[in-house]
Amino acid sequence: MSRTSTPLAHDVVRFDAVRKVYGRSTNTVTALDDLSIGLERATFTAVMGPSGSGKSTFLQCAAGLDRPTSGTVRLDGADLSTLGERALTRLRRERIGFVFQAFNLLPALSVLENVTLPLRLAGRRPKKAEVDEVIERVGLAARRTSRPGELSGGQQQRVAIARALITRPAVIFGDEPTGALDSRTAREVLVLLREAVQGAEQTVVMVTHDPVAAAHADRVLFLSDGRIAGALDRPTVEAVAERMTRLGARADERVARGDAR
């Protein structure tokens, strides 16, 4: 069985006994249920699970966008519960990159301006060589003055990846980053994320429902009812799809029994 909870210093994301309960008194939902997991630096992890299994909550807590009800979340060594809002914002800006399904680019800004925005928000002056390197890495050197509206979906997502890479974050979180892309373009985006892990020693954590996307990861974590329901190392599309079918069937049985959460 693969490692799911042994504490190790090189875990860049670490959850210990994390619970997240939404709502109050009689009307509560346990989104994360005593979850302990470590994600090693320079690895690519996909997080999967049926709808409502806690994937978004996991990502939100890992990125310091939401606070757990109890337990500790560490990111790049920092215990997020000890940080105030200001320190959390700074940590998110400097140590975390985000890539979303909907790209979330600013339409009025050029590719170059979108990519360098996180640096400028942090009060840092973009260094030309660094910016050029990142824009070249995602294959958009010829499009640096274009606006997002002039680019294809795949190109827009590559801008978003460059924007996530520019601060050299410890972790890049992806929320269905290939959800809006056709399969060929999705593959290009996944290859870029994989290169970030291999070349720049970054860590990628990606929520996806697509077994093909998940098979690009080093490891797939399966969530069910807010718990880790298993993990697959060096996943294949078939193995991921098979696990998801089983988890989905279990979730359907619970709905039929009337104890869905």
Q: Which residues bind ligand ADP (CB under 6 A)?
A: 22-23, 29, 31, 49, 51-57, 261
The smaller minimum CB distance to ligand ADP, of residues 74 and 227, is found at 227
Closest distance to ligand ADP from the beta carbon of 178 (Å): 16
Closest distance to ligand ADP from the beta carbon of 132 (Å): 37
The CA distances from residue 201 to 7, 76, 171, 172, in Å, are 20, 13, 10, 11
Closest distance to ligand ADP from the beta carbon of 203 (Å): 20
Closest distance to ligand ADP from the beta carbon of 248 (Å): 12
The smaller minimum CB distance to ligand ADP, of residues 49 and 169, is found at 49
The smaller minimum CB distance to ligand ADP, of residues 6 and 51, is found at 51
The smaller minimum CB distance to ligand ADP, of residues 11 and 33, is found at 33
In the chain, beta strands by DSSP E: 11-24, 27-40, 44-48, 70-75, 78-79, 96-100, 171-175, 203-207, 219-224, 227-233
The closest of 103, 102, 97 to 62, measured between CA atoms, is: 97
Contact between 63 and 83 under an 8 Å Cβ cutoff? The reply is: no
Q: What DSSP designation does 93 have?
A: H
The smaller minimum CB distance to ligand ADP, of residues 57 and 203, is found at 57
Contact between 59 and 49 under an 8 Å Cβ cutoff? The reply is: no
Phi-psi region of 83 (alpha: psi -120 to 50; beta: other; left: phi over 0): beta
Closest distance to ligand ADP from the beta carbon of 246 (Å): 16
The closest of 113, 64, 116, 122 to 93, measured between CA atoms, is: 122
